[in-house]
Amino acid sequence: MPIPESPVAIAVGDALVSGVYARPAQPFATLVLAHGAGAGMDHPFLAGFTRALNDDGVATLRFNFPYREAGKKFPDRPPAAIAAWRAAIAAAAARADGEPL
């Protein structure tokens, strides 16, 4: 049976980015994942990869970068990308129950 996925909104500065969180019954770790420059968080590979991790006992949070949310094709500059990573990691940490991130 697939692990339920929950949409999350992650604040990155003044913007919100989309994320998807999934947590098995007793995860041994939580992994935060982001897409590459050519696709968003819903790319079939990334979605399938996180679902496979969920089946193996890993909670996952995948998210979009701000440029993707804005419909732009060119990736964010490093400060914006780093801010997005930090916000996503904080969102995952808030949902973790002591397991490593």
Q: Is the pLDDT of residue 21 over 90?
A: yes
Q: Is the pLDDT of residue 37 over 90?
A: no
> Per-residue confidence at 5, pLDDT binned at 50, 70, 90?
very high
Average pLDDT over the chain, rounded to an integer: 95
Q: For the segment 53-87, what is each residue's pLDDT rounded down to a tens digit?
A: 999 999 999 999 999 998 898 888 999 999 999 99
- Write b or e for each residue in 69-84: b if 16 or more Cβ atoms lie within 10 A of its Cβ, otherwise e: beeeeeebeeebbebb
| Domains of the chain from N-terminus onward | 5-95 (3.40.50.1820)
Q: Which residue has the higher pLDDT, 21 or 76?
A: 21
- Which pTM does this prediction carry? 0.93
Say if CB 62 and CB 54 are below 8 A apart: no
